[in-house]
Amino acid sequence: MVDYPDYLQLDSLLSAQALESAKHGTPARDELLFIIIHQTYELWFKQILHELDLVEATFAGEQMDDAFLSDAVHGLGRIVSILKVLVNQVDILETMTPLDFLEFRDLLVPASGFQSFQWRLIETRLGLRPEDRIAFDGQPFEKKLRAQEQAALLALLKEASLVDRIDAWLARTPFLVMEDYDFAEAYRKAVAEMFENERAIVQSNDSLTEDDKNRQCAAFDASEASLTQILGDQVAESGWRFSDKALRSALFINLYRDEPAAHLPFQLLSLLMDIDELMAAWRHRHALLVQRMIGAKVGTGGSSGHGYLAETATRYRIFGDLFALTTYLIPRSALPPLPGAVQSAMRYQYSAK
């Protein structure tokens, strides 16, 4: 017989708020709020890690059953949903004024959000690497964590992150080279035709001077070179994180997202971008809150607070390649149609009958 309070372990949950200010004699009005909001953050972090377990498992093997892809999309969608609430609930913390925070802030030194092991796990498992991080205090990012947590994080860095798993899965996409179809070739040709067309329009425009025509055509040349660059090998050396094959597959999925077999892959890539955006939004709101709460003072963990957080919000991007790929999209009307064999392969069995 299950009982609501036992099931939720409310006795221990609701007695896990010990105010430092109470230990020093006078309970501060808002310290309970400060503890509770951080506890809800950590509970949600646990749920995010649980969803990541399931998502990672779906990308573990060599083969990926379609039903698993649906699970991955479901799990990432839930992470997005949780991150939205985490961003929004900063509203509650903003009802605490700096004066109220100062009542107990000094008692918390040197505790710090830097010590959230779960948040570091989330960042690392998604694929944020030590070299992507902004140096702080000249110390490695994991320095403020407990010894066994540091060890766990360093071990984790040697394993495949979600970025790595997504890369391997993307690289396996079967449709890009099929019978006599070569996506890279078709894309290059479409881009060439598109620009040929543009150049012809410019050249036949009598209202333009010869100089204008030349300048505009030169701009087209540069754009074309840029658009086809992604098709070459060793692209990945020039600042991209994904492998050549994975990048081309991601481009293919973006371009042909309406084909049944591309539906879920496209949703999955979109959700990864959502996660990146929401983590940036969370850092951004957090930075603004710190600025409002303690101004130029240092954070309880010794960080310069606002500045550091604002920089992480702007620079940390785990799936940055997916954002950068949009540069390589072309209008749907310029999109080369897929040959019948490729299109069939991407349809459901029953529709082929």
The residues in 167-196 that bind its own copies, with binding defined as CB under 8 A, are: 174-175
Q: Which residue has the tokens 């992507």?
A: 132
Residues 142-161, interacting with its own copies (CB under 8 A):
146
Where does residue 17 rank: exposed (0-12), middle (13-18), buried (19+ CB within 10 A)? middle
Part in contact with its own copies (CB under 8 A); list of ranges 31-39, 164-172, 205-213, 228-236: 31-39
Which letter, b or e, does each residue of 106-145 get, where b requires 16 or more Cβ atoms within 10 Å of its Cβ? eeeeeeebbebbbbbbbbbbbbbeeebeeebeeeebbebb
Question: Are the CB atoms for 161 and 241 separated by under 8 Å?
Answer: no
Shortest distance, CB of residue 124 to its own copies, whole angstroms?
17
Distance (Å, rounded) from C-alpha 317 to C-alpha 127?
9
Q: How many residues of this chain interact with its own copies, rule: CB under 8 A?
A: 117
Residue 280 contacts its own copies per CB under 8 A? yes
Residue 43 contacts its own copies per CB under 8 A? yes
Nearer to its own copies, 9 or 214 (CB): 9
Choose among 175, 192, 166, 143: nearest CA to 271: 166
Shortest distance, CB of residue 34 to its own copies, whole angstroms?
10
* Member of 134, 218, 225, 329 binding its own copies (CB under 8 A): 329
Residue 16 contacts its own copies per CB under 8 A? yes
Residue 139 contacts its own copies per CB under 8 A? no
Residue 348 contacts its own copies per CB under 8 A? yes
Question: Are the CB atoms for 129 and 43 separated by under 8 Å?
Answer: no
* Member of 82, 152, 190, 235 binding its own copies (CB under 8 A): 82
Residue 103 contacts its own copies per CB under 8 A? yes
* Member of 60, 61, 81, 201 binding its own copies (CB under 8 A): 81
Shortest distance, CB of residue 208 to its own copies, whole angstroms?
13
Q: What does the block give as tokens for 24?
A: 């020093």
For CA atoms 32, 33, 38, 43, give the dihedral sign.
positive
Residue 284 contacts its own copies per CB under 8 A? yes
Residues 119-138, interacting with its own copies (CB under 8 A):
none
Residue 255 contacts its own copies per CB under 8 A? yes
Find the helix or strand (DSSP H, E) in which 152 lies: helix 147-157
Shortest distance, CB of residue 84 to its own copies, whole angstroms?
7
Shortest distance, CB of residue 285 to its own copies, whole angstroms?
7
How far does Cα 267 stand from its chain's mean position?
13
Residue 10 contacts its own copies per CB under 8 A? yes
Q: What are phi and psi of 295, to 5 degrees?
A: 60, -130
Residue 111 contacts its own copies per CB under 8 A? yes
Nearer to its own copies, 158 or 295 (CB): 295
Part in contact with its own copies (CB under 8 A); list of ranges 96-104, 180-188, 203-211, 233-241: 96-104
Distance (Å, rounded) from C-alpha 279 to C-alpha 79?
11
For residue 45, give every residue at least 6 positions away whose Cβ sits within 8 Å of its Cβ, in sequence order, or none: 116, 118, 119, 121, 122
Residue 208 contacts its own copies per CB under 8 A? no
Distance (Å, rounded) from C-alpha 280 to C-alpha 311?
10
Coil vs helix vs strand at 230: coil
Residue 328 contacts its own copies per CB under 8 A? yes
Residue 29 contacts its own copies per CB under 8 A? yes
Part in contact with its own copies (CB under 8 A); list of ranges 133-141, 153-161, 206-214, 329-337: 329-337
Distance (Å, rounded) from C-alpha 47 to C-alpha 31?
25
Residue 116 contacts its own copies per CB under 8 A? yes
Nearer to its own copies, 45 or 127 (CB): 45
Part in contact with its own copies (CB under 8 A); list of ranges 46-54, 152-160, 183-191, 233-241: 46-54
- How many other CB atoms sit within 10 Å of the CB of residue 250? 26
